[in-house]
Amino acid sequence: MTEPGDTPDILDTEPEEEMLCPHCLRPTDPISHFCNHCAGPTSMHSSIDPMGQVYSMGHAYRNSTDRPTKFVTVLGIWLIFSPLMVPLLFVIITIPWTWLRYGEGDFNSIYALIFGLGLGSLYGLIIYKTTRSYLKHKQQQTDITNGNTQSPRESSNL
């Protein structure tokens, strides 16, 4: 118990520091390498560890497709995935053409066609989702600057 003339020594007690996630700014565990809320990397270890690099890249791709706020992000996604679609389109077009022309097809060409269709659909979906999210974000910013704060659903119900 302290006596009436004694003052507690405030300087001796150190405040507990919380580590904040650099992506979502929520408190996170200081020893964890990824945020529990947004799964963003919070330490340098996540960039050095091979599996951490995979998770970090996944976080970057999720952010770029879900919440692109700058045109350069959309341009980057187009530049990454569009050139990959060209050979896939070549495979998708030439395999059925070969079947029709020569009347033969084997299981390898069927697998290549299915693989080409799957990857082409995935790449197209990534490009579409990124572009759509960017245009939606840009429209929301325009509506906010113009003073229109209603969502499209609310305005269509009127």
Task: Give the domain-ending residue among 66, 89, 123.
Answer: 66
The confidence band for 158, taking pLDDT boundaries of 50, 70 and 90, is very low
Tokens (6 digits) for 23: 């992506």
Same domain, residue pair 122 and 72: yes
pLDDT of residue 15: 52
- C-beta separation of 91 from 112 below 8 A: yes
Q: Structure pTM?
A: 0.61
User: Is residue 133 situated within a structural domain?
Assistant: yes
Same domain, residue pair 99 and 135: yes
Which residue in the block uniquely carries the two structure tokens 């990124």?
A: 130
Q: Give the integer Cα–Cα distance in Å for 47 and 140.
A: 34
**For residue 78, what are the contacts with CB-CB under 8 A and spacing of at least 6?**
127, 131
Q: Give the integer Cα–Cα distance in Å for 141 and 69.
A: 10
Residues 3-27: what's their mean pLDDT? 68
pLDDT of residue 83: 92
Same domain, residue pair 58 and 110: no
CA atoms within 13 A on the CB side of 70: 4
Q: What is the pLDDT of residues 96-137, one digit of tens each?
A: 888 877 777 777 788 888 888 999 999 999 999 999 999 998
Q: How many domains does the chain have?
A: 2
Same domain, residue pair 48 and 78: no
Same domain, residue pair 73 and 28: no
Q: What is the pLDDT of residues 62-90, one digit of tens each?
A: 888 888 888 998 999 999 999 988 888 88
CA distances from 14 to 2, 11, 53, 141 (A): 20, 7, 35, 43
Residues 5-16: what's their mean pLDDT? 55
Same domain, residue pair 56 and 75: no
Same domain, residue pair 54 and 105: no
Same domain, residue pair 141 and 83: yes
Same domain, residue pair 24 and 47: yes
